[in-house]
Structure 1
Amino acid sequence: MKNFTSTTDVMGHPQGLLYLFFAELWERFSFYGMRALLVLYMTKHLLYSDRMAFGVYAAYMSLVYVTPMIGGVLADRILGFRKAIILGGVLMALGHFFLTFEYDVFFYGSLALIIVGNGFFKPNISSLVGSLYESGDSRRDSGFTIFYMGINIGGAVAPLLCAWLAEHYGWHVGFVLAGIGMLIGLIVFRGGLVRNVFDDRGKVPNVSRYNEKFLGIANGNWVVITAFLSVPIFAAIVYFYEFEHYLVWLVSACLLVFIMSVLQKIDKPARKKLLVAVYFTVLYTLFSAIFEQAGSSLTLFADRNVNLIAMNAAQTNSINSGFIILLAIPFSVLWTYLHRLKMNPNSVVKFGLGLFFLGLGFVIFGMSARAVNEWAQTPMSYLLIGYLVLTMGELFLSPIGLSKITELSPVKYTAFIMGVWFSANFFGHYFAGKIAELTTVATGDLGVFSKGVLGSLTELITGMSVSETLASAENLQQLYSYVSVYACFGVLAMSIGVLVIVSFRFVKKAMGAVH
């Protein structure tokens, strides 16, 4: 067999990018395929209450964003990118396949396997992409854009296929397809290793450290053993999701101590920039808490109160990724064009616009109640338009934030500050679970958003009055529980977005030369 090296370009990029593109595509296929089914599986098959399903889902998704910090460090010091990616892929594949066993120990164990596996796979395949390009290579941004497209292609296609199989042949067939997707990703990555498309990149960084023994076992093997031993711990955290707030407090305290420590070690200009990075992270946490209703409460809203056409509720999870595929390149071209005209908005303004459009998307979800039919179902057009608008918000904020964090971070602490940025996903998913729980109200109780000023705001946006809703059927009360939450949090996000835009000059001053 002929060996190819990464010096052989494909469409102007190292050949290794092609393998990593498809490996990540299939890994995301497995992740988003399973995610699309999870809340519906818990509420419809396992018969969990909405509150319990939201709690388990929030704990699972928040932990998914904690383990990459650990997996990245272990790869840098001991395993190397290659071994970490393979270990993570194997763990995730096992997690998807174990979901086919209908016992609590397998269900929570499966979620934990995916949590741990994602920690090894996700950060290190991205790092391997970066290693394909030398410092200063002008192709780097384009390469990551191509790689990002693979993520969203997997995220768009997986819910459609996995949900179709789950609907026609059973939940477990959908989970099996997700597991097969992960195996295909591993096979593709393995193919790249066999063909030597990565050269020496991603190998064990320090062979002597890897082989150094403790209690007669090499450090490299200890990482694998510890990964499997940690599975019951993460399964217990998900199972006892009611106590996750203790983990949130612990992570918050650790981050605060580390940030305070860094602030004392850097000069005043760098300190101002770091505080702006923290400010952006707080805004991203708020964005994530509202945005991540997708996959949880929005999936149940689509299942129960949207007149779906040509797709089922689980398949609606593909809408966001589909819009990203359509809009990512136009947005990229837009920033370049505006930069040429010297009209490119400051990144603070983009953050504000991101929050504003996110809120507007949820207000549109709330407004859908104005067109409700006799079965308490709203038109699917509102769901599509709402997703389109909030996806625009995502493109204003998420990629811009990732870029600015690298510029605002002190060079010596870039990796740590990047970890702080990604911690917003951990906090965001935790609070997203709390927001989703607000949609679970008992019959005859429309919740906090039906009272006082919030009740008036809800009626203004949704057209649903409290008195008429309470006198209506249960399905209309259920609709109110969703649209009231979406409308009020939508207005909150829009309001904060406007405040961010109005006060951008104060933040811009602290950013120095960073745009």
Structure 2
Amino acid sequence: MTTATRSDKMPAGIPYIISNEFAERFCFYGVNAILVQYMIEFLHFGDAKAASWQAMFKSAAYFFPLLGAIVSDVFLAKFRTIISFSIVYIAGCTILALGTGEDMMIVGLLLMAFGTGGIKPCVSTNVGDQFTEQNAHLIERAFSYFYISINAGSVISIWLCPELLSNPAFGPKIAFGVPALMMTFATIAFWLGGRKFAVVPPAMRTGAGPALVVFSLIFAVMLAITGVVLVQTNKLWATATILSLLAGLIFVCLRPSIGNKLPEDLHAWLKRCFTGDSLKLIGRLLVLYIFVAFFWSLWDQSNGNSWTIQAQSALMDKHLLGFMSGVSGFESAAAWEMLPAQVQVVNGIFILILVPVFTFVIYPLLGKFFTVTPLRKIGMGLFTVAASFLIVAWIEQRIQEGHVVSMWWQISAYVVLTAAEVLVSITALEYSYKQAPLYMKSFVMSLFLLSVSVGNIFTAAVNDYMVEPLKTESVSTGEQTWVALSKVDGYVTGQKIDFNGENGVEVITADGSKGPLAGTFLIAEIDVAGNRVRLMDKVYRKPVSSNGNYDLSKGEVSTYTLVGPIYFLFFAALMALGAVLFIFVAMVSKERTFVREAEAT
């Protein structure tokens, strides 16, 4: 047995993959950054509904990698899969940019989720496929470059897209249109690198076309069944339904009476992936991914979700350089105010800083005291992300009480959150790739991405379940808006109250513009004797002026059971408990590494 000659040269296809990932992530994170703001300001969604829908979009985006992985590993290989799904991705971005209203948004987001989900497991595993035994030592560096490109793209788009959306001269069409153009560039960049990529062929060498058509039809039927379950029950049951259907399909295909009728290559791939050691590997990884799913449930709330909603309050002082006021020559800098959706940009900046800090400083330092294994990194990260939610819970408590809080406090939470991301996300990405045999790397990567989907489903479900419908007796309009309820016991000042439906009442906002009584407002005053509450607007906490007659038959009013900081403390406690349990899981887990062998020359 000969030893492959060591090579320190990075594979030729890596720059094209990095360019593609930069532009695609610009698109995805740009849309994601402004989605909640768009739903709240332009579609008048309540906070919980907007957070739930945004989480559902991300859940779908990280569910469809299951489809992309199977199409790639079995039918088309990575290059054709990425190009095909990218075209759908571009179509979704275009519809989102040019369409108006809730229905067009849903269509655009669904196509975007389908497209980005289809390429996700292929792009990241395509990085690893470029390496052989000769340069396998460069994989970690390449994945670091890959992750840096993700965050570089996100930093630029998260900063730019909120500016475009908030500027009346541009608005939603341009704010969503720029990401669409970047996705077009991403597709072209990847296509140009096609001849430089090392290719791992799909499992099916013959008859892939007809088999792909049949598989697509079956998958479409399963999605339709899941949609019915979603409408009739809830998101958690729908998730359980689609996963059960997929597992059932695999089980049926493995039975000799069915499997022997399948194309030989497809049947062989199924047997290799879902029997013996491969099945045991999937089982071990799924246990790990349960904990990673809870990590993503927390982390993704910092990415255009609950953390961004928190930053919308005027009590969150977004003058980051305000401490320079009074200093001659720095008046403009002190007056500059960051937009609420822009604060998440610091996550990408901190990633660029903390990746080398952890790689070259923290990990070597910890290595002097104990062996720094991937699972130990992940365990530390789970505790760390829980700590970040304690900070935002404290911020929310201060805001609810009416105190001004500097944005620097939320930025400090992002520092802690980003440290957790380095410990968990990068580590789990590399760990997933190395654990998987070559013939199922895309599929294993899709399981890792499925943990993101499940985490976001959980977030969406919590935002749905915490909504408590209120029995409304009447709404009194005028310079102040009072809502008479069946009871007001237990409510607190600053608590959120949502209005939905065309209820006939018009409000005058703080800037003098008019709009419907829809979306989220805050309780400014509680009249216990009269069983009524007075409203103030969510951002500026000013009295709500209104006119019109409230239509009880059309209006829907609700509040949240997880009030203020309790919401964030709920997730922090859940993650802390999960981190403790993970310690025991890590103690019994085993690791293996699979890379592509060097090709004969």
What is the Cα deviation at residue 392 of structure 1? 1.1
Select the residue among 264, 287, 308 that pairs with 1:299. 308
Q: Retained in 2: the 8 A contact 1:348–1:508?
A: yes
Alignment of 1:109-508 (within 5 A): 109-135=107-133, 137=135, 138-168=137-167, 169-193=170-194, 196-198=195-197, 201=199, 208-210=206-208, 214=210, 222=213, 240=231, 243-253=234-244, 266=276, 277-294=285-302, 295-304=304-313, 306-309=316-319, 310-334=337-361, 336-338=363-365, 341=368, 343-369=370-396, 372=399, 377-405=404-432, 418-437=445-464, 474=536, 475=538, 481-497=563-579, 499-500=580-581, 504=583, 506-508=584-586
Q: Distance in 1 between matches of 2:41 and 2:134?
A: 52
Residues 93, 180 of structure 2: 8 Å contact kept: yes
2: CA distance between counterparts of 1:228 and 1:280?
Answer: 26
Q: Quick one: distance in 2 between partners of 1:201 and 1:130? A: 11
Change (3 A) 1:53 1:223: farther
Alignment check: 8 A CA contact 1:101 1:107 kept: yes
Structure 1: distance between partners of 2:128 and 2:361: 25
Q: Give CA-to-partner distance per residue, 1:466-492, whole Å, 9 cap, x none.
A: x999689755799x9332211343244
Contact 2:223 2:242 in 1 (8 A): no
Which whole-Å deviations, capped at 9, do the CAs of 1:59-109 have from their partners, x for residues lacking one? Answer: 221111111111121122222222211122211111111112114442211
**Alpha carbons 1:163, 1:174 under 8 Å: kept:** yes
Q: Which of 145-154 and 303-312 deviates more?
A: 303-312
Identify the match of residue 53 of structure 1 among 47, 50, 55: 50
Cα distance in structure 1, aligned partners of 2:460 and 2:298: 10
Select which of 13, 17, 27 maps to 1:16. 13
The range that moved more, 237-246 or 163-172, is 237-246
2:380–2:423 CA contact under 8 A, matched in 1: yes
Structure-2-length-normalised TM-score: 0.67
Instruction: Kindly indicate which of the two structures has a greater share of residues assigned to strand.
Output: 2
In the superposition, the TM-score normalised over structure 1's length comes to 0.77
Q: Which digits, 9 at most, give the CA deviation of each residue in 1:120-162, with x for residues without a partner? A: 2222222322222124522222112111111111122111111
Larger radius of gyration: 2
Change (3 A) 1:250 1:410: farther
Unaligned 5+ residue runs, structure 1? 1-8, 451-466
Residue 81 of structure 2 is aligned to residue 72 of structure 1: no
RMSD: 4.3
Counterpart AA for 2:317: N
Note if contact 1:116-1:227 (Cα within 8 Å) is conserved in structure 2. no
Q: Is the 8 A contact 1:280 1:401 kept in 2?
A: no
Paired residue for 1:6? none
Q: Matched residues in 2 for 1:447 and 1:70: separation?
A: 46
Can you list the C-alpha shifts for 1:231-273, whole angstroms capped at 9, x where unaligned?
99699689959633332122454688789x9999658xx96x8
Structure 1 contact 56–241 (Cα < 8 Å) conserved: no
* Unmatched tracts of structure 2, length 5 or more: 1-6, 255-270, 320-336, 471-482, 495-522, 528-533, 542-558, 594-601
Q: Distance in 1 between matches of 2:193 and 2:591?
A: 41
Instruction: Tell me the amino acid that sits aligned with residue 293 of structure 1.
Output: Q
Write the letter of the residue equivalent to 2:241.
L
CA distance in 2, matches of 1:201, 1:381: 47
2:564 match: secondary structure: helix
Q: 1:45 and 1:370, CA in 2 relative to 1: closer, same or farther beyond 3 A?
A: closer
1:510 maps to what in 2?
588
Distance 1:133 1:161 in 2: 35
1:29-55 CA deviation, whole Å, 9 max, x = no partner? 000000111111111101123333233
Say which is worse superposed, 85-94 or 136-145, in terms of deviation. Answer: 136-145
Going from structure 1 to structure 2, the CA distance change for 1:75 and 1:53 (only over 3 Å counts) comes to: same
For the residue of structure 1 that corresponds to 2:338, the secondary structure is coil
2:83 paired with 1:86: yes
Structure 2 CA distance, aligned partners of 1:231 and 1:113? 17
Q: Which is further off, 408-417 or 222-231?
A: 222-231
Contact 1:293 1:436 in 2 (8 A): no
CA distance in 2 between partners of 1:437 and 1:246 (Å): 13
Name whichever of 15-24 and 288-297 sits farther off.
288-297
Q: CA deviation at 1:401?
A: 3.0
Richer in helix (by share): 1
SS at match of 2:13: helix
Q: Give the conservation status (yes or no) of the 8 Å contact 2:93–2:112.
A: yes
Check whether the contact 2:386–2:576 (CA below 8 A) recurs between aligned residues. yes
**Greater Cα shift, 19-28 or 115-124:** 115-124
Q: Helix, strand or coil: the match of 1:62?
A: helix
Provide the C-alpha distance between the structure 2 equivalents of 1:73 and 1:264, rounded to a whole number of angstroms: 13
| 1:372 CA drift (Å) | 4.5
Partner SS state of residue 65, structure 1: helix
Partner Cα separation in structure 2 for residue 48 and residue 326 of structure 1: 36
Q: What is the DSSP-based 3-state SS (H/G/I as helix, E as strand, rest coil) of the residue aligned with 2:131?
A: coil
In 1, Cα distance between equivalents of 2:591 and 2:69 = 30
**Which whole-Å CA distance do the structure 1 matches of 2:233 and 2:394 have between them?**
32
Taking a change above 3 Å as real, the CA distance of residues 86 and 419 of structure 1, as seen in their structure-2 partners, is closer
* Contact 1:408-1:511 within 8 A present in 2 as well: no
Distance 1:179 1:388, change over 3 A: same
State the AA in 1 paired with 2:379.
G
In 2, Cα distance between the equivalents of 1:223 and 1:376? 60
Inter-CA distance 97–79: structure 2 relative to 1 (3 Å threshold): same
- Matched AA of 2:589: M
| Residue type of the alignment partner of 1:397 | V
